[in-house]
Amino acid sequence: MKNLFLATLLLASTSLFGQTTWNLDASHSSLNFAVTHFGISNFVGSFADYKGSFTASKEDLTDAKITFSINAKSITTSNEDRDGHLNSEEFFHTAKYDKITFESTSFTKSSDKVYELKGNMTMKGVTKAVTFKVMLGGIITDPYGNTRAGFTATAMIDRTDFGVSGVQGAVSNDVNITLNAEFVKAK
């Protein structure tokens, strides 16, 4: 009888915390980057077209497998000439490399709402390991019955590691990335 009870409890916990998929709600998210121009001022840009999702079975999400895909041609800096230059071979070469992708290798919890996300980013045909600091904003049920999770992820990369050279000295090699992401749990 005890084994039957344990089996029932195990089955119930598996259905409660079974693997779930969470999809990015892009209309309530943003993907921005910042670089320094001539070492004296910062300018910010963003990507307008991107997708992301993750799967997890643990309640604390530490087993999350996270993927992102960015349409590199959707880069915008509020300056048409600069955007055209960023799409050129000198920077992203979007005619040949139209996607930037990320696939996680680990998602570990540092404290109550702080995680470290490690994974591989591919940009301009080059794949490198990248680490993001992730803050969990919270998990709620919205008025429509959807379960939502909000995160802010930040990282700094060296653009030249990915072959995004551009004009050396004019724009910093260091690029700060900020993703404000809202995910909806699939039903």
Q: 60-119: per-residue pLDDT in tens?
A: 999 999 999 999 999 999 999 999 999 999 899 999 999 999 999 999 999 999 999 999
What confidence tens digit (pLDDT) does each residue in 21-55 have? Answer: 999 999 999 999 999 999 999 999 999 999 999 99
6 or 75: which carries more pLDDT confidence?
Answer: 75
What's the pLDDT score for residue 17? 52
Q: Is 82 helix (H, G, I), strand (E, B) or coil?
A: helix
What's the pLDDT score for residue 3? 45
Whether the per-residue pLDDT at 9 is higher than 60: the answer is: no
Whether the per-residue pLDDT at 5 is higher than 50: the answer is: no
What's the pLDDT score for residue 166? 77
Contact 83, 77 (CB under 8 A): yes
What's the pLDDT score for residue 122? 98
Strand partners, 39: none
Whether the per-residue pLDDT at 14 is higher than 90: the answer is: no
Closest by Cα among 34, 39, 43 to 159:
34
Alpha carbons 179 and 134: distance in angstroms, whole number: 9
What pLDDT band is residue 2 in, cutting at 50, 70 and 90? very low
What's the pLDDT score for residue 167? 74
What confidence tens digit (pLDDT) does each residue in 133-186 have? Answer: 999 999 999 999 999 999 999 999 999 999 998 777 789 999 999 999 999 999
Residues 6+ apart with CB under 8 A from 59: 17
What pLDDT band is residue 6 in, cutting at 50, 70 and 90? very low
Whether the per-residue pLDDT at 59 is higher than 70: the answer is: yes
What confidence tens digit (pLDDT) does each residue in 115-132 have? Answer: 999 999 999 999 999 999
DSSP letter string over 130-155? EEEEEEEEEEEE-TTS-EEEEEEEEE
Helix (H) or strand (E) holding 67: strand 65-71
The two tokens of residue 76 are 């915008």
Domains and CATH numbers, the chain: 20-185 (2.40.128.110)
Per-residue b or e along 141-170, where b marks 16 or more CB atoms closer than 10 Å to that residue's CB: eeeeeeebbbbebebebebeebebebeeee
**pTM of whole model > 0.85?**
yes
Q: Is 173 helix (H, G, I), strand (E, B) or coil?
A: coil
Closest by Cα among 78, 26, 24 to 54:
24
Contact 31, 47 (CB under 8 A): yes
Q: Token pair 């077209």 is at which residue?
A: 49
